[in-house]
Amino acid sequence: MLNKIKPGHTLLLLLIYLLASCSSTKLGSQKENPAAQSVQLEGEWWNKRHETIKSRLKSDPELILVGNSIFHTLEKEDRKEVWTKYLDRYRTVNMGISGDRTENVIWRIENGTLEGINPKVAIVLIGTNNTDGNHYLNISTPEELGDGIYKICSLLTQKLPNTEILLMGILPYGYKPNHRDNINKATNKLISSFPKKNSKVHYIDISSKYVDESGKVNKELMPDYLHPNAEGHLLMFKALDADIQKLMK
């Protein structure tokens, strides 16, 4: 014969059930951070670019550029002076792919772009596409974007333990104050603290180089208020040169 459940026991069982249900609901509602996931972009051109980057690794680079179109456009014909003045001396491999977000860079790092190399320095500039609501379905919060960028730095340290990481603040965007630029600035505040968590990370923010006295993006350096032109790229690596040389030593 089954023992009867006493009234007090019934109440206790009910409380245990409710607590278990609440815990299950809470766990189920926790959302993964899209900016820290590993996502391969679809498209033949993107995959071809990824394979091109991998083919360059045989040059045994001392410097790698990890990022999006802001680095990808360094391969334009009018950027040769940037290379002759600042980049060729280090056997540089440009790993920028236009349109990449943090999650795409994470996928590339996990799928071959760091294999068999031991660079002295990696420059990382990524994140502005994560705050672009015009071309992408979701916009990252500063916290999400910061976590995505930190994951990139962590993966770099894991795969390239001898490499120093020069982490750049996200560059300014837009010809007037806007939500996207506000998220980028808030993210920069978060990622500026990364050197405290990872001694291989060295943070630098050169945003002030691209704005005028009124705080607006200088169209002479960023004609579309996002991408540096040839003059803007020369200014970038002039601003980074001392840090790169220091880290190379």
Average the pLDDT over 50-73 and give the result: 98
Q: Which two tokens stand for residue 158?
A: 């894991």
Return d(Cα 190, Cα 237) in angstroms, integer: 23
Say which residue the tokens 């490499």 belong to. 163
What is the model's pLDDT at position 2? Answer: 44
Ranges of H-type helices in the chain: 7-29, 44-55, 69-72, 80-82, 102-110, 142-159, 179-191, 194-197, 230-248
What order of strands is seen across the sheet that includes strand 92-94?
92-94, 63-67, 121-125, 164-168, 201-204
Model-level pTM? 0.88
pLDDT digits over 237-249, tens only? 999 999 999 999 9
What is the distance, to the nearest Å, from the Cα of residue 236 to the centroid of all Cα atoms in its chain? 17
Residue bearing the bigger pLDDT, 110 or 20: 110
- The values of phi and psi at residue 133, to 5°, are -85, -5
DSSP lists the bridge partners of residue 240 as none
Nearest Cα residue to 60 out of 114, 125, 106, 124: 114
Pick the closest to residue 231 from 79, 55, 110 (CA basis).
Answer: 79
pLDDT at 7: 52
From start to end of the chain, where are the E strands? 63-67, 92-94, 121-125, 164-168, 201-204
* Neighbour tally for 216: CB within 10 Å: 15
Identify the band that residue 25 occupies on the pLDDT scale cut at 50, 70 and 90: very low
* pLDDT tens-digit map of 152-210: 999 999 999 999 999 999 999 999 999 999 999 999 999 999 999 999 999 999 999 99
pLDDT band for 219, please (50, 70, 90 cuts): very high
In this predicted structure, what is the pLDDT of residue 6? Answer: 53
- Sequence letter at residue 177: P
Q: Would the pLDDT of 59 be above 50?
A: yes
